[in-house]
Chains A and B, each alone.
Chain A
Amino acid sequence: MVIECKHVWGYISDYLDAALPEDIRLDVQKHLEHCEICSAILDSTRNIIILTADERVFKLPGGFSERLHARIDLELEGSGGG
């Protein structure tokens, strides 16, 4: 079935997650083969997901771990297990 760009946009997330039913996935794939706009949207979305998942983007604040474990130590001492 031929689908339009706007329909493809609605499927991009599930397409990236390989969560589309096979018949729709094939329609989307067919569309992507000849539509440079939808291909660019798909690629940019995928790239943005990869970049935001990069551990360097959201880092723990400096000293986070030390402060956390110091506080847990206090709790453990208080609970009699430290």
Chain B
Amino acid sequence: MERHSSTRTEAEMIAAILAGDTQLYHELIHPHERRVYLMALSLMKNEADAEDIAQEAFLKAFRNLSTFRAESKFGTWLISITLNEARGRLRRQTIVRMESLDDPPDGGGVVSPALLRDWREIPSELVERQEIRQMLQEAVISLPTIYRQVFQLRDVEDLNVKETAEVLGISVPSVKVRLHRARMMLQKQLSPLLKSVNPSPKRRWLPWL
């Protein structure tokens, strides 16, 4: 099906869809597909479930489009629906985890980074290598849920701190604390691995300070 591009704003498209031009929904959601899928993947951790949740979220958003309030962004609203769908599915699957999805603790100690003296930038071309992509994916997916969600929204999907707090129903300081820990956990885990695939001429590592 040909989906012509339009200069219409999201608000105008939503109004048109609600007025009966429902085919416009295809166009409305197109820019949000990746974000919704990744958010679902961050909770479901497998591609098939994530795709299913993403589809459900888009259908639910369509059915409830009349309840969308323009004061929030359509993309943020979609993420909230996706999170609710994913959480509901996890509850139904009665997956019991060590960590709670709803009432996560923000306590815990400081995450110490990996210590290195010299760091050579990893060129983005390296991402073309399958094993590098996999290394990055696995590191993000292996983060505890409360950190993974914040990292995904802030650093992968580029929501700002306030939007992230709104979507997750947590405070702005909590977003910052969790984001910091997520980033430090990834630095600790990935720096040694990435350094080994991109060795610098001098390899000076400190065992610990």
Find chain B residues with CB under 8 A from A71 CB: 55, 59
Q: Are A61 and B23 in contact (CB under 8 A)?
A: no
**At the interface, yes or no: B119 with Cβ under 8 Å from chain A?**
yes
When the two chains form the complex, which single residue of A5, A10, A58 contacts B41, counting CB atoms closer than 8 Å? A58
Mark out the residues of chain B between 78 and 109 whose CB falls within 8 Å of any chain A CB in the assembled complex: none
Q: Are A61 and B156 in contact (CB under 8 A)?
A: no
When the two chains form the complex, which single residue of B20, B51, B62 contacts A67, counting CB atoms closer than 8 Å? B51
- Residues 5-27 of chain B: 1 if any A CB is under 8 Å from the residue's CB, otherwise 0? 00000000000000011110110
Find chain B residues with CB under 8 A from A60 CB: 33-34, 37
Dominant SS among interface residues on chain B: helix
- Residues 53-82 of chain A: 1 if any B CB is under 8 Å from the residue's CB, otherwise 0? 111111011001101110111011001011
Q: How far is the CA of A76 from the CA of B41 in the complex (A)?
A: 26
When the two chains form the complex, which single residue of A16, A43, A51, A75 contacts B59, counting CB atoms closer than 8 Å? A75
In the assembled complex, how far is the CB of residue A25 from the closest CB belonging to chain B, in whole angstroms? 15
Q: Are A68 and B54 in contact (CB under 8 A)?
A: yes
Find chain A residues with CB under 8 A from B186 CB: 45, 48, 52
Q: How far is the CA of A48 from the CA of B30 in the complex (A)?
A: 28
**At the interface, yes or no: B116 with Cβ under 8 Å from chain A?**
yes
When the two chains form the complex, which single residue of B33, B113, B121 contacts A68, counting CB atoms closer than 8 Å? B33
- Residues 123-156 of chain B: 1 if any A CB is under 8 Å from the residue's CB, otherwise 0? 0101110001100110110000000000100011
Mark out the residues of chain B between 30 and 61 whose CB falls within 8 Å of any chain A CB in the assembled complex: 30, 33-34, 37-38, 41, 47, 51, 54-55, 58-59
**At the interface, yes or no: A29 with Cβ under 8 Å from chain B?**
no
Q: Which residue of A lies closest to B20 (CB)?
A: A81
Q: Which residue of B lies closest to A75 (CB)?
A: B59
Q: Are B209 and A48 in contact (CB under 8 A)?
A: no
In the assembled complex, how far is the CB of residue A43 from the closest CB belonging to chain B, in whole angstroms? 5
Mark out the residues of chain A between 10 and 41 whose CB falls within 8 Å of any chain B CB in the assembled complex: 10, 12-14, 16-17, 19, 36-37, 39-41
Q: Are B121 and A47 in contact (CB under 8 A)?
A: yes
Given contacts A12-B180, A49-B183, A71-B59, contact A40 B155 (CB under 8 A): no
**At the interface, yes or no: A1 with Cβ under 8 Å from chain B?**
no
A residues contacting B by CB (< 8 A) are 5-6, 9-10, 12-14, 16-17, 19, 36-37, 39-41, 43-45, 47-58, 60-61, 64-65, 67-69, 71-73, 75-76, 79, 81-82
A and B contact pairs by CB, cutoff 8 A, 16 listed: A9-B113, A10-B180, A12-B180, A13-B176, A40-B119, A41-B187, A45-B187, A47-B122, A51-B194, A54-B127, A57-B136, A58-B41, A69-B26, A72-B26, A75-B63, A81-B22
| In the A-B complex, the 7 residue pairs with the closest CB atoms | A81-B22, A13-B180, A40-B119, A44-B191, A45-B187, A41-B113, A44-B119
